Amino acid sequence: VKIGVLGTGTVGRTIASKLVELEHEVTMGSRSPDGDALLEWVGESGERGSGASFADAAAAAELVFNCTAGGASLEALAAAGAENLDGKTLIDVANPLDFSQGMPPTLSVCNDDSLGEQIQAAFPQARVVKALNTVNAAVMTAPDSVPGDHNLFVCGNDAAAKSEATALLESFGWPRDSVIDLGDISSARGTEMYLPLWLRLMGALGTAEFNIAVCAP
């Protein structure tokens, strides 16, 4: 599959490298296609990895990951271009963390709205699936690094897009029954508002490599 990964941070590079390993054709998008972060990744990713602007990365793709800073995601996706996202599954990994007041960050949108919903509203023809935002980048593509059974969530309005996203998650190593479908995109509120707890757990445990398990009879 041709996949666009928007974002050159730890998350974008981790996901893009895993996708290349899985033999997808990956174009990583950035504001600076000639920037060091992008060139470095392209240099180490082999013939299936390339770099481009946000717009060219989205245009070349059949499926797109949003791995941009949450506060900039709407801007980055606008730069990608609605026409390049139309009809495509858009897996949104971003969290709307606002670090402007220092640590711990606050959420720039919460309670009765979420970044996932804002993205779906701004790009109504994209098939937005919120996923992977509840785990650290290292865990996203190596779920086995956390012992035991533990869970991920998918949120989105389009059932076929959620199935497509879940199949990719399975290829990352997440057992199918570990992925809980929370419902429509408004359920992204819950996974984004989990972040304050995630940040405190990281402090309490002294590591970012953990996850939660949902237990039910």
Ligand X SMILES: NC(=O)c1ccc[n+]([C@@H]2O[C@H](COP(=O)([O-])OP(=O)(O)OC[C@H]3O[C@@H](n4cnc5c(N)ncnc54)[C@H](OP(=O)(O)O)[C@@H]3O)[C@@H](O)[C@H]2O)c1
List interacting residues with ligand X (CB under 6 A).
7-12, 30-32, 37, 67-70, 72, 75-76, 93-95, 97, 133, 136-137
Residue nearer to ligand X on the CB measure, 133 or 187: 133
Give me the least distance between CB of 2 and ligand X, in Å please.
19
Residue nearer to ligand X on the CB measure, 10 or 159: 10
Give me the least distance between CB of 53 and ligand X, in Å please.
9
Amino acid at 134: T
Residue nearer to ligand X on the CB measure, 30 or 89: 30
Q: Which of 138, 184, 158 is nearest to 90 (CA)?
A: 158
**Sheet bearing 179-183, strands edge to edge:** 49-53, 25-30, 2-6, 63-66, 89-92, 127-131, 152-156, 179-183
Q: Which residue is nearest to ligand X (CB)?
A: 9
Give me the least distance between CB of 33 and ligand X, in Å please.
9
Distances in Å between the Cα of 32 and the Cα atoms of 76, 195, 202 are: 12, 29, 32
Q: Which of 107, 111, 96, 94 is nearest to 189 (CA)?
A: 111
Residue nearer to ligand X on the CB measure, 66 or 160: 66
Helix (H) or strand (E) holding 178: none
Give me the least distance between CB of 217 and ligand X, in Å please.
30
> Interior CA angle at 65 toward 146 and 83, to 5°?
170
Give me the least distance between CB of 75 and ligand X, in Å please.
4
Q: Which of 59, 98, 62 is nearest to 77 (CA)?
A: 59
Residue nearer to ligand X on the CB measure, 102 or 217: 102
Give me the least distance between CB of 106 and ligand X, in Å please.
13
Residue nearer to ligand X on the CB measure, 37 or 39: 37
Distances in Å between the Cα of 207 and the Cα atoms of 31, 90, 138, 145, 201 are: 31, 29, 11, 12, 8
